[in-house]
Structure formats: structure tokens, C-alpha cells
Amino acid sequence: MMLVRTRASVLFYKHNTITQHSFAVTRRICCVIKVLRKEALVMVLKVFFPQCCNLAASGLLVGRWIPHHDSAVVLAVIHYPFIPSHVKRYIQQMAAQSRVDLSVLGSWSLPQDGQEGMESFLRDLSTMFPRQRWLQISRRLGHKGFTCCLLGSTWPPKERKVMLSQLHPIQNGFPQSQDDTLSELRQVFHTVSSSGPLFFLDKYDDGPLKSTHWQSEGREGSIIVEILKQASVPVCIVLSRILALWTWICSMRVFCVFPLPFLWSKLSSCVQLSYRSQHLKALSSQKTADNHMQFIRKANVFVSFLVDIGLGLFLASWLYKDNNISMIANMLVPAADHVAKELVDLLQWLMGAPAGLKMNRALDQVLGRFFLYHIHLWINYVHLLSPFMESILWYGGLSACLGLSFALSLLSDVVAFLTFHIYCFYVYGARLYCLKIYGLSSLWRLFRGKKWNVLRQRVDSCSYDLDQLFIGTLLFTILLFLLPTTALYYLVFTLLRLVIIMFQGVIHLSVDFLNSFPIFAIGLRVCRPYRLAEGVRFRVLSEEPGSALHLLMEINPMKSSAVVHTYRTPTYSCYPKDSWGALIKKLFVGELIYPWTYKSAKGHAAKAE
């Protein structure tokens, strides 16, 4: 008993696999742990008793003995007076309907004024319902504790002490999942959730039987949810038709010509659109969710979709009032001009003697003129577009109605277009620099008389011919002296590119946040914390020597951080592909960097299911 007490005061353990439905009905349970002393041998019997029945009138206990464990779950109390044959028939009916192994467990007595002689009656009941074990639980008004005793044949004591953590043992961090050896708690909850038909009868019914049970205090439900459930069926059908049409349009051959699929995969707005349409497809399918995780995920997707569209409409309303669009359009072309002018100034500075560095004049002039010509082309292109800018923005702003995340990804794409020339410069500079570094390292090995052994992946000595040596040394000298020039151009354009990547990264992160944050789960955690559980909690209610140990079992809600972590919607999130060290090494060598990569949404969805 000492052991039970120390374990029982507060107990937490983690398991997330108890079904959601069972939590809806079992908000609070009492657990009565009974210790019987028989000939100096101690055996422990656990009875799970609903809290709603604490004040029920006397009657019969109906429930289930859990096999292989010394426990019983009480599901309902059928009140006195009753006719035994009716009760037997009722129980058989319910057992057939709910496929739960129901039986009469024993008797419950809460003596109220004016009811004497119950004890003998209750004892006779055990003969009416012949069973091997017969529980007698009784309580006095005003006392907290219950008194229990067990009649019937004894069975060999299996347990001398009870470890409450053994109620749901987890080995190696994974809960057991075989059906035969379901843990005790899982069987309790499973029993309660499967015996739905038993809970239709109420103590105010006019029929021959009256009962009090788990759901006597009111069933869990709300009118809005019921209306939504009814309305969702035709809406789903309409939505799936629209989506089928959209998918058919998207898969037309004209969009699969070579450069287009590549373009679609690079534009983040297209990726976002396909991601959302996948979500809608999953939402509008007719079948209900199989398990708890899927349900929460679907609900998250739905709610975040609504929130997204709401925010997008808000943004659109701001854009279209007070002529904001033309204001933005009028700002845009001068801004592009300003950027181009700054770039030209920068290139002029590089073509001089920047920071006192020694540049090779000829190469400097060549590179500088090349990039200046590009900027000239770019400015002409922007000026060509400027009369249409306002209408483009107007139609683009309509896309905000599709959701704030779509508008943000469209913004990211627009920024990518506007800075395409910087991207081009970066690629040229990086390729030139990479080639130079590669050539230099190879020729440096030649300078020392060594060679890279590809088979052994190491540097070996090598005897070169005279002409190889000669030409190699000449090239080495040339590359070495041209290195500062190329390196400077590369540095400048890489910095510019990094700035733009940072900006795009911020936008992508916020889109990712909108996509994946589990709003529904957080709302559920705030309003109905018992629906998201992370185990059960035990509290000692009464512990008197000679009577049974009385514990209160409550559901332990998950922490908010755990909720976010578990129920995040998997997205095509962009995450950094390389670690910092690898990124710096790539920058140093001159390889092109793509710091953000997209995981494919399909791969993720497949992994999640």
C-alpha cells in the first residue's frame, strides 16, 4: 500500500495513442484501487468507476472485466427497482450491438433516507446473477471514501503491489500496438468508447430500466458542429468537382512543353498553389478521417485555409481602396531605375581602382563593360513595361483573394523577376571565379610536380613532359595575376545576391509559418484541453486504512509547445540545405549556392500517411 501511495499522488507519462473519441466521453474517471487481505496474502483489484455515478441511486453495476488484468470498468448503474429478466435481456442486446463483453459486475449502494433493508436485497442479487466474482461497492453520503468488498471464489493472487506506470507500459519509447496485449488503460478507454449504445438510456426515461452512466452529465456536442457536418457533404461534392476541373486544366499537354514545368517548379506562387490545391483535394474527399491524427490534420488545414483567405481578403480590401495600387505602381519604376543607377555607380568604382587594390586593367575593363551592357538592357526592359505596370499590379492584387500566403509568394516571385539581372551577374561572376580557382589549384599542383590521383583520391607525384611544364607554368602565372580582379567582382555580386536571398527567405519563412501552424489544434488546446491528451494523472482522494484506496484519474492535457510540434502540417518547407560550414566553403570555392530547397509536397504527403 505504501508503494501505491507514492506512485499515485501525481503521475505523468506520455502516450498519444488513446483514441480521440474516448476522451470526448471520458472526461473524469474515478479509479478505485482495492486491496484485499486474505490469509496474509495481498491482492490488488482495480475498479474504474465514472465520476458521474458518484451520486447515483443504488442499483446494479454493469460493465466489463478486463481480461488478463485484475481490473473492471464500470459503465453504468441500473437503478432499483428493476426486473432481473429485463436487465439480462437489455445487457445481451447491448452486448450484441456494441460488441463489448458486458456483464453485471456487482452492486452499488448509496443509502438514502427511507430505504432500509437494501443490504440483504443487494446480497441476494448475487444469487440472481450468478457470477464468479461479485463486487459490492457502497458509499455513505457525506463520506468521501467507498467501501468495497469482493464476493465469490478467490483466484490466485497475481499482484502484491501495483505500479501505476504498468497500466500503460511503453517499451523503448514506443507504445505497444498488438491487439492481444493491449495495455490496461487502452482497454479501459476502448471499452468506454465502444459502448456507445449503452449511453442512450437515461435515468429520466420512462421505460422499464433507468440507468446512470458516463454521459449522464450531458453529451459532448454542439449545434454548430452538427450543422457543419450536415452542410459539408454537398459542399464537398461541389469542391471536388471544381478541383477535378482545375486538375484537368493543369495537366493539359500545352503546359507540359519543356521549359514550362521547370518554370512552374521554380516559381514559388505556383508551388504554393499546387500545395493548396492538394490540401483542398484531401479536404473534399468523402471519406472521414481514420484516426485522430488525420482528423486534427484535416481540421488544421481547413482552419488555416480559412484564416489565410480571410487575411488575403483583408489585404485586398486595403490594396483596392484609396488608389493604393497606382501609388505602388508609380513608386515601382523609379525604384528600379534607382537600383540600376546604383549598380552602374558600383561598376564604375570597380573599374577604377577600388579600395586601392591592384586590378588588371584590361580584364577590369572587359568585365565592367560586359556588366554595364547588361544593366543597360535591363533598364530598357523595365521602361518598356512601365505603362502596363498599373494594370499588372491591379490584376496581381486580385490574387490576394486566394490567400495571404499566395500573395506573399507572388511578391517573392516579383522580387525575383525584378532582380533577375543581379542573379545573372552572380552566376557569371561565380562561374568565372570557380573556373579560375579550379585551374589555379590544378596548376599549382603541376608547379610542385604533383598530380591529383582520381582513383585514390589523393595527390601523387608525377613526372611531366617539358611542354606540359612550360604551358602549365605560363597559365599558372596568368591565372594568378588575374585572380584579384575576378575575386573582387565575384565578391561584390555574391554580396548583392545574398541580400536578395535573405529577403526572399524572410518571405518564404512567413509563408511557411502560415502554411504549417496548427491553428485548430491550438484552439482546441485552449478551449477544450482534455481533447488533446498526453497521458493521465492520478490524484489521491481518500486513503484510509481498512478501506480501498481511492484515486482520481484525470486527463493530462498536452503542453502547447508539444501541440505545435506534433500537429504541424508538413509543408514543402524551404529549409537550409547546407550547414554554415558547407555554405562558406561553397562561397570560397565559387560554387553556385541555392540556400533554400523545396521538399516536394508529394513526397511529404506520402511520408505523412
Partner 1 sequence: MATNVLLDTTITRAMGADDGPGAAVAWRKVLWERQPYPDNYVDRRFLEELRRNEGLRQYRYWAVVQEAGLVGEQLSCVAIFITLWLYMEEGLLSPETLLVISLASSLLGYGLYQALASQAQPVLQPRTRLADLQSAAIFLAFIFGFSPVLKTLTESVSTDTVYAMSAIMLLAHLVSFPYAYPSTPGCLSLNAALFASVCLASRLPGTLHTFTMLSCALMVFALWPCLLGQVKDRAPRYFAAVCAGVCAAGVGGLASRWPVGAAILALALVSVMLMCPWLLVRLQRHKDNIHGPWDEAEIREDLSRFLH
Question: Which H or E run contains 258?
Answer: none
Residue 352 sits in the site that holds partner 1 (CB under 8 A): no
Exposure of 460 in the CB half-sphere (CA atoms within 13 A): 9
Give yes or no for a contact between 19 and 190, defined as CB atoms under 8 angstroms apart: yes
Report, in Å, the least distance between residue 367 CB and partner 1: 14
Residue 474 sits in the site that holds partner 1 (CB under 8 A): yes
Selected from 473, 577, 594, 603, the binder of partner 1 by CB under 8 A is 473
Give yes or no for a contact between 62 and 108, defined as CB atoms under 8 angstroms apart: no
Selected from 19, 97, 294, 360, the binder of partner 1 by CB under 8 A is 360
Output 242 or 478, the one with its CB closest to partner 1.
478
Q: Quick one: cell of 302?
A: 481547413
Output 56 or 482, the one with its CB closest to partner 1.
482
Selected from 447, 503, 530, 596, the binder of partner 1 by CB under 8 A is 447
What is the C-alpha separation between 34 and 551, in angstroms, rounded?
10
Selected from 149, 471, 526, 608, the binder of partner 1 by CB under 8 A is 471
Give which of 146, 8, 3 is closest to 536, Cα–Cα: 8
Give which of 134, 138, 157 is closest to 147, Cα–Cα: 138
Exposure of 286 in the CB half-sphere (CA atoms within 13 A): 5
Q: Is 53 exposed, middle or buried (0-12, 13-18, 19+ CB in 10 A)?
A: buried
Give yes or no for a contact between 467 and 446, defined as CB atoms under 8 angstroms apart: no
Residue 442 sits in the site that holds partner 1 (CB under 8 A): no
What is the C-alpha separation between 606 and 609, in angstroms, rounded?
5
Residue 449 sits in the site that holds partner 1 (CB under 8 A): yes
Selected from 229, 448, 565, 585, the binder of partner 1 by CB under 8 A is 448
Residue 355 sits in the site that holds partner 1 (CB under 8 A): no
Selected from 463, 545, 581, 606, the binder of partner 1 by CB under 8 A is 463
Output 97 or 360, the one with its CB closest to partner 1.
360
String of contacts with partner 1 for each residue 480-509, x by CB under 8 A: -xx---------------------------
Reduced 3-state DSSP string for 97-123: HHCCCCEEEEEEECCCCCCCCHHHHHH
Stretch that binds partner 1, among 227-235, 307-315, 354-362, 384-392 (CB under 8 A): 354-362
Report, in Å, the least distance between residue 451 CB and partner 1: 10
40 DSSP 8-state letter: T
Report, in Å, the least distance between residue 358 CB and partner 1: 4
Selected from 1, 128, 244, 478, the binder of partner 1 by CB under 8 A is 478
String of contacts with partner 1 for each residue 155-194, x by CB under 8 A: ----------------------------------------
Give the contacts of 378 (CB within 8 A, at least 6 positions apart): 340, 420, 421
54: left (phi over 0), alpha (psi -120 to 50) or beta: alpha
Please identify which residue in the block is written with the cell numbers 601523387. Answer: 460
Report, in Å, the least distance between residue 435 CB and partner 1: 16
Residue 361 sits in the site that holds partner 1 (CB under 8 A): yes
What is the C-alpha separation between 360 and 587, in angstroms, rounded?
23
Residue 359 sits in the site that holds partner 1 (CB under 8 A): yes
Residue 354 sits in the site that holds partner 1 (CB under 8 A): no
Residues contributing to the site for partner 1 (CB under 8 A): 358-362, 446-449, 463-464, 466-467, 469-474, 476-478, 481-482
